[in-house]
Amino acid sequence: MDPIDLIRQGKITRYFRATRKLNIPHLVSHITQRAAGKEYLFLEDSDFLFMLGLLKEIARDSSLNIYAFCLMPNHAHILLSPRKENLYDAMRDLFSRYAMRFNKKYERKGHLFGGPYRQALCFDDSYLLAASLYIHLNPVRAGLVDEPLSYRWSSCRLYCDTDAPKSFVDPSFILALLPEAEGEEKKRYRLLLDKGSMLATDLVLEQENAIERFRIKLASLFPSIFRRIDKTKKVSTPSGIELLSLEELEQQIEAIGKGNASRNPETRKAKKYLIEQLISRGYKRSEIAEQLGLSPKTIYNILKSPQ
């Protein structure tokens, strides 16, 4: 079945791809790209500035909404959504033009990037907020700065400074998720950053469910905020996608955990749906088996079944 059909049915809430990416208008993507091996993508300030100039130009010409970014020495994060069906061309243009200029400037040959860029789609609002916070905390996590606002090559200041200048980056889309009085969203975002910087997190370039785990930790610190955010549909509404919130997903896990290994078709159908949801959130089958009290073979058989 086509992935977008599974998304619309609520069977996929996480989608990570390095190839065959989804090119759907209004879907929010977390784009990541890294240097090949131990190389660097940016060696001088002018390299960072050139990438930002390219991103601004391509966002304008290709009708991209840019929500957040962080350019690290050896990799990059961009949170965006295309207004047209042109994500492939826009990202190819961005990374190929940068690589050509970098290779020419430093008289080098060969691939600059360590493979195709990766796309992780954001289908629910609390995940989108966590992704933005995760991106802005990258420099702290890497030990480059003590606090995220000190890092020059990210959009963090646009989210926290009340007098931040106008930019091609639009922080209002994500700040509007916070249930605060007008003008207070940036203070709340700064608080989330401060608390988030104290949490141990995995690297999203190595663990696909890193942001999901980070989101769960944040939600435990700010339960009322995340409960309210989970009820909004700011991300999914433009695409007509209706998905389960994490709270609803946890309720289904608990309900199935109280049941038995019934062969009832409806029970197996519910288990299959739940397993698909967990896989799409980045959980491994072995983790799902342990969480649901099932064997890996049972997980395999349920997924293989037509119901």
Instruction: Write the pLDDT tens digit of every residue in 80-130.
Output: 999 998 999 999 999 999 999 999 999 998 899 999 999 888 878 888 999
Of 78-92, 98-112, 188-202, 219-233, minimum mean pLDDT range:
219-233
Distance CA 103, CA 215 (A): 38
> How buried is 190 (Cβ within 10 angstroms: 0-12 exposed, 13-18 middle, 19+ buried)?
middle
Write down the mean pLDDT value for the chain.
83
Instruction: Give dist(CA 261, CA 268) in Å, integer.
Output: 9
Domain map (residue ranges) of the chain: 3-239, 246-304
% pLDDT > 70, the chain: 79
End-to-end CA distance of the chain: 14
- The helix or strand, by DSSP H or E, that contains position 266, with its residue range, turns out to be helix 265-280
The residues with which 122 forms a beta bridge, in sequence order, are 14, 28
Q: Give the pTM.
A: 0.76
Instruction: Identify the burial level of 288 via C-beta atoms within 10 angstroms of its C-beta, where 0-12 means exposed, 13-18 middle and 19 or more buried.
Output: buried
Dihedral of the alpha carbons of 159, 161, 166, 168, in degrees to the nearest 10? -30
Tell me which of 296 and 180 has the higher pLDDT. Answer: 296
Q: CA 93, 2, 249 angle in degrees (round to 5)?
A: 105
Q: What is the dihedral of CA 185, 189, 192, 193, to 10 degrees?
A: -170
Fold of 3-239: Alpha-Beta Plaits (3.30.70)
pLDDT at position 271: 78
- Rounded Cα gap, residues 126 and 245, in angstroms: 9
Question: Which residue carries 């195709």 as its tokens?
Answer: 116
- At residue 18, the pLDDT reads 47
Alpha helices in 151-261 (DSSP H): 156-160, 172-175, 185-196, 210-221, 223-230, 246-257
Alpha-carbon distances, residue 167 vs 171, 182, 189 (angstroms)? 9, 20, 18
What stretch of H or E contains 302? helix 296-304
CA-CA-CA-CA torsion sign (150, 172, 56, 72): positive
